[in-house]
Chain A
Amino acid sequence: DTGVSQDPRHKITKRGQNVTFRCDPISEHNRLYWYRQTLGQGPEFLTYFQNEAQLEKSRLLSDRFSAERPKGSFSTLEIQRTEQGDSAMYLCASSLAAGPTDTQYFGPGTRLTVL
């Protein structure tokens, strides 16, 4: 098991461009989460999937953000018409929701810089 992986690790883009990030969860984990983290702050929840179903979206997730998990395995997070305020670390986590324990394991993140 290689853990959660994310690609790319770094992305620099110009304001107004679209970007897409990919997350590969730990195999057989049925839940996948996206978080955003800015400098000095804890991760903030954006959205999560159980298998291929997107169960919740934070109000932080504007209409410019969309996430998919088409086959219940990897997930993509797309940001359209990026703004400078989108600059942050985007973290993906996965878990195997079973009973009372739901430990989330994080990937290395994608650091987005919008110029």
Chain B
Amino acid sequence: QQPVQSPQAVILREGEDAVINCSSSKALYSVHWYRQKHGEAPVFLMILLKGGEQKGHEKISASFNEKKQQSSLYLTASQLSYSGTYFCGTEREDKLIFGTGTRLQVFP
């Protein structure tokens, strides 16, 4: 069963913040975050391997709560380039099971 992401869609003005959540009914051993723009391949953002781990890349960061089987992606001071669909993925027997996706649109 695939991870469930919330919200399904987010609309932001440039400079606003957003949080995308990823929840799994099964144990999460690692969480991978990707961003995909329309018609393009998913682009790797970051991977979290341990519960409690937090990572950041520029103004995008993520946390991983292993006990709650959840991960959250934080986008701070959003830029137009952040627009796209964000997917979390969890590793299961060497393959990635992708979440339901969150579509993010940033307007000027």
**Partner-B contacts on A (CB < 8 A):** 4, 31, 33, 40-45, 48, 55-56, 91, 97, 100-109
Contacts and interface: CB of A to CB of B under 8 A. Distances in A.
Interface of A is mostly: loop
Contacts of B100: 42
A41 B97 contact: no
Interface stretch (B12-20, B36-44, B56-64): B36-44
Interface residues of B, number: 23
B98 A43 contact: yes
Given A106-B42, A109-B41, 17 more contacts: A4-B41, A31-B94, A33-B95, A42-B89, A42-B98, A43-B42, A43-B98, A44-B98, A45-B97, A48-B95, A55-B94, A56-B93, A56-B94, A97-B94, A101-B47, A105-B44, A106-B34
Interface of B: 2, 30, 32, 34, 40-44, 47, 49, 87, 89, 91, 93-101
A101 B42 CA distance: 18
A110 to B, nearest CB: 11
29 contacts: A4-B41, A41-B101, A42-B2, A42-B87, A42-B89, A43-B42, A43-B87, A43-B96, A44-B98, A45-B95, A45-B96, A45-B97, A55-B94, A56-B93, A56-B94, A91-B41, A97-B94, A100-B30, A101-B47, A101-B49, A103-B32, A103-B47, A104-B96, A105-B44, A106-B41, A106-B42, A106-B44, A108-B40, A109-B41
